[in-house]
Amino acid sequence: MERKELVRYLDEYLKVREIRDDSRNGLQVEGRPEVRHVALAVDACLGAFQQAGEVGADLLIVHHGLFWESYRPLVGVHLRRIRKLLEQDISLYAVHLPLDAHPEVGNNVALAQLLGLEVVGPFGEYHGVRIGLEVRPAAPVSPQEFARLVQERLEVPVTLQPYGPAQVRRVGIVSGGGGSLIQQAGEEGLDLFLTGERSHSYYHMAEELGLHVLYAGHYVTETAGLRALGRHLAERFGLQITFVPLPTGL
């Protein structure tokens, strides 16, 4: 299909113009005009660009793009990354908060589905938008049992701050670096908050609020939505899809 047709669809489907974000969401680098093969990666880095070229991708969709609120000069690492895209004629499309919050292929809803959790409703206001979800397990579980479930399903080590009630019923999910929403989770009466990246700044907040906090890694909690988006594009348009794994362990 034509690149401009796919970009138009992504912009509308992901509502990239409706959610305020520090990321410059949408098409960030323009490549060849036709798209048959789409690659997806969490980060816009040289390794992702090289692998996208090796598999023959025409367009790469990333969660963390190259361009954010303030532009950087085209020097050093930033220049080498863009040069690699241009040399391979690959388009770059970035989608940050709109992918976290999307009700069908978002990182948070995809995580809930992977963990077998029932979605109750939106949770976690950021830039005036509810970007996360409140979910609940089929039956109350201990925080340790919940942590084991997450570790087994995501196949990564997790870190639990066990400061909440003996049984977990209400859970908040915000993928990636959602530590700043710990206070909201506690004030809204959740039992456990699941996010990605640990933050020293909010460590004591969880204890003082009586809230379990479970950290499963920034990278891995932001892969589920990209994989779901890839499946959606394959089903809707018949495009070839490749997920580019570049785990950071963080």
Let me know: does 213 contact 196? Beta carbons within 8 Å: no
Residue 119 DSSP one-character state: E
Taking the whole predicted model, whether its pTM rises above 0.85 is answered as yes
Classify strands 240-243 and 37-43 as parallel, antiparallel or unpaired: parallel
Give bridge partners of residue 126 from the DSSP assignment: 129
Average pLDDT over residues 87-100: 97
Of 2, 16, 40, which is closest to residue 246 (Cα–Cα)?
40
- pLDDT over 90 at 155, yes or no: yes
Classify strands 129-136 and 171-173 as parallel, antiparallel or unpaired: antiparallel
Q: Between vectors from CA 196 to CA 69 and to CA 247, what angle results, nearest 5°?
A: 85
CATH of 3-95, one of 2.60.120.10, 3.10.150.10, 3.40.1390.30, 1.10.12.10: 3.40.1390.30
User: In residues, how long is the chain?
Assistant: 250
The yes-or-no answer to whether 3-95 and 101-218 have a common fold is yes
d(CA 130, CA 119): 14
Boundaries of every domain in the chain? 3-95, 101-218
CATH of 101-218, one of 3.10.129.10, 3.40.50.20, 3.40.1390.30, 3.30.420.40: 3.40.1390.30
Average pLDDT over residues 32-41: 98
The per-residue pLDDT for range 217-247, each reduced to its tens digit, is 999 999 999 999 999 999 999 999 999 999 9
Task: Supply the Cα-derived Rg of the chain in whole angstroms.
Answer: 19
The per-residue pLDDT for range 69-78, each reduced to its tens digit, is 887 888 999 9
Spatial neighbors of 130 by CB under 8 A, at least 6 apart, are 101, 122, 123, 124
Let me know: does 144 contact 168? Beta carbons within 8 Å: no
- pLDDT over 90 at 151, yes or no: yes
- pLDDT over 80 at 102, yes or no: yes
Name the residue with higher pLDDT: 215 or 70. 215
Let me know: does 92 contact 65? Beta carbons within 8 Å: yes
What pLDDT is recorded for position 73? 85
Of 223, 143, 144, which is closest to residue 176 (Cα–Cα)?
223
d(CA 124, CA 133): 7
